């Protein structure tokens, strides 16, 4: 069975972007081929970007959200996710929101976090590898 992977918001954003075709291709391939997870935070951030940056309607955003939840498993951020994020933020000196993504990925037992926002190849908590798929 394939390792579990977690997608940061930017992976989904590129999957729906019409301006970054190379990154779009990579993101869509990852989504299609991976045993992937996203969190409620990712959906919230994606919704904001779709409506603000891409000027999509809320109806279009809702369709994208539904598709994203269908193509990836959805982790619901709970109190334990938030508390663990605080621990990660303190230990690694990450922002709270980056730590919340990492916390969710760890709670899903993912081996890889795909993102372009953190240090490529860094290992978190001896189990989660940060990968920037665009380099």
Per-residue confidence in pLDDT tens, the chain, 135 aa: 588 999 999 999 999 998 999 999 999 999 999 999 999 999 999 999 999 999 999 999 999 999 999 999 999 999 999 999 999 999 999 999 999 999 999 999 999 999 999 999 999 999 999 999 999
Ordered by start, the domain boundaries in the chain are 4-131
> Domain 4-131 adopts which CATH fold?
Rossmann fold (3.40.50)
What lies within 8 Å, CB to CB, of 107 at 6+ separation is 75, 80, 81, 84
Measured CA to CA, the distance from residue 38 to residue 120 in angstroms comes to 19
Secondary structure (3-state) at 5: strand
Supply the pLDDT for residue 125: 97
Structure tokens at 104: 């969710």
Supply the pLDDT for residue 2: 81
Sheet holding 73-75, edge to edge: 73-75, 35-39, 4-7, 112-114, 128-131, 123-124
């Amino acid at each position: 069975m394939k390792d579990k992977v977690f997608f940061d918001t930017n992976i989904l954003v590129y999957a729906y972007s019409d301006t970054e075709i190379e990154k779009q291709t990579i993101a869509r391939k990852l989504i299609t081929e991976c045993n992937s997870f996203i969190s409620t935070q990712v959906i919230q951030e994606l919704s904001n970007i779709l409506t603000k940056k891409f000027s999509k309607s809320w109806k279009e955003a809702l369709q994208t959200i539904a598709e994203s939840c269908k193509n990836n498993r959805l982790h619901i951020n709970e109190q334990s996710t938030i508390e663990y994020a605080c621990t990660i933020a303190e230990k690694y000196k990450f922002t709270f929101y980056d730590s919340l993504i990492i916390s969710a990925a760890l709670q899903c037992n993912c081996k890889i976090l795909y993102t372009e926002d953190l240090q490529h190849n860094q290992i978190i908590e001896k189990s989660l590898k940060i990968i920037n798929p665009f380099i």
